Amino acid sequence: MLKILVVEDDTNTRKLLCAVLKQNGFETYGAEDGIAALHFMDEQHVDLVVLDLMMPNMDGYELTQQLRLSWENLPILMVTAKQEPKDKRQGFLVGTDDYMTKPVDEQEMVLRIKALLRRAQIANDHKLTIGKVVLDYNALTVSRDNQVITLPQKEFYLLFKLLSYPNKIFTRLQLMDEIWGMETETDDHTLNVHINRLRDRFRDWTEFEIVTVRGLGYKAVKKG
């Protein structure tokens, strides 16, 4: 059973979140602040952390930074009453994987947690399989049967990102931020060149295609 640690200083909220997650098949633990959470995680394996932002002793930002030092791939969902875009940006900058504002929709939280756990599994395996196609994150290779193609790093990351979320539309800005970094000078043209190269390489492959969503961005579609 997957283990989730809920870090929340409000006792009632902590108990509620734990109860909801238990009902959905998770083993849950609670911690009242960041310090207690770190002590707990030194003793116990945890598969995902749900944490509040505003807490005494150690807030959610600092806790996220501390968690990232020791658990690089641990999925973290930040839940907070702070709704300003700058607070959300700060959350992602310190290393959270997802961000929800209170009051939390319980069903949406469970769906987001399941999505984070799926992504973590892909990241831990460092492989993604679509039919007979296997993407190996460590080797930057795309293989099918006896055919192995080694891609340039940015092309591989772009394809891996799109195929990790079939049918999900990514805006050009999202992809540029994710693949090239938020501070990059990369423009639309660079992204378009990489997309076109991927299309040319895999034009005859029947398992997937990269679709342009006019006015929005791109998505990968599984076929067959």
Q: Where residue 190 sits, what CATH number does that domain have?
A: 1.10.10.10
Hey, which bits of 8-163 come out as E strands?
A: 27-31, 48-52, 76-80, 98-101, 127-130, 133-136, 141-144, 147-150
How far apart (Å, rounded) are the C-alpha atoms in residues 211 and 195?
Answer: 10
Which range marks the domain in which residue 73 is found?
3-124
What sign does the dihedral 183-72-100-33 (CA atoms) show? Answer: negative
Q: How many domains does the chain have?
A: 2
> Which of 107, 124, 141 is the last residue in one of the domains?
124
Residue 98 shares a structural domain with residue 14: yes
Question: Do 19 and 114 lie in a common domain?
Answer: yes
Q: What pTM was estimated for this model as a whole?
A: 0.58
Cβ contact 49:24 at 8 Å: no
The predicted-structure confidence for 63-82, as pLDDT tens digits, reads as follows: 999 998 888 889 999 998 88
Question: CA 50 to CA 6: how far, in whole Å?
Answer: 5
Of 91, 124, 157, the one marking the end of a domain is 124
Answer yes or no: is pLDDT of 181 > 70: yes
The pLDDT value given to residue 220: 96
The last residue of one of the domains, among 84, 102, 124, is 124
Neighbours of 10 (CB within 10 A): 13
pLDDT in tens, 8-65: 999 999 999 999 999 999 999 999 999 999 999 888 889 999 999 999 999 999 999 9
Cis peptide before 103 (omega within 30 of 0): yes
Q: Tell me the pLDDT band of 182, cut-offs 50, 70 and 90.
A: low
